[in-house]
Amino acid sequence: MTAAVRVLVTAPALVRVASAVVLGVPETAGVALWALVEEPGEEPATVCPQAPPGMQAFADDVTAWVKWGVLALIVISAVVSLGAILAGRIFSHPHASRYGAMGVAVVVLVAITYTVILVILDSITGSGCT
């Protein structure tokens, strides 16, 4: 009678196995490896990230303030950079125009990074489990 077993590999389990092997405790490594084997039909529990009780409203407020603060800084930086380009052209000051153009490029890169970070944070703390 053979029973099909499935190996469940998770990061914490691999850390336990790796630490047992590194520490040189072979019998602990065998026990840790045995913990990776599960019986057929069992599904691993899905754990979703969740704020501690009473912290979600505070976390939402802080996140909203940071989002709007960074957005305001991006807009202000873009206006100042465009103003530097305009002032450099009007007053024949090529250094101001060059710094303004570099500022616009930096603002565009920061805006792209800002949106990517928001997507990453939403995928980590958003609703549902992945």
**Are 104 and 64 contained in the same domain?**
yes
Distance CA 1, CA 55 (A): 52
- Give the chain's domain count: 2
Q: Does residue 77 lie in a domain region?
A: yes
- The kind and range of the H/E element at 71 are helix 56-90
Q: Does residue 46 lie in a domain region?
A: no
Return the closest-CA partner of residue 16 out of 30, 1, 2, 6. 30
Residue 29 belongs to what domain range?
Answer: 6-38
AA identity, residue 19? S
**Are 28 and 76 contained in the same domain?**
no
pLDDT of residue 13: 53
> What sign results for the dihedral spanned by CA atoms 25, 31, 35, 36?
positive
Q: Does residue 130 lie in a domain region?
A: no
Residues 6+ apart with CB under 8 A from 63: 121
pLDDT tens column, 97-114: 999 999 999 999 999 999
**Are 62 and 120 contained in the same domain?**
yes
pLDDT tens column, 11-22: 555 555 555 555
AA identity, residue 30? G
Distance CA 86, CA 79 (A): 10
Q: What is the mean pLDDT of each run of 10 residues along the chain (130 residues)?
A: 49 54 52 51 66 85 92 97 96 95 97 92 68
**Are 66 and 31 contained in the same domain?**
no
**Are 31 and 61 contained in the same domain?**
no
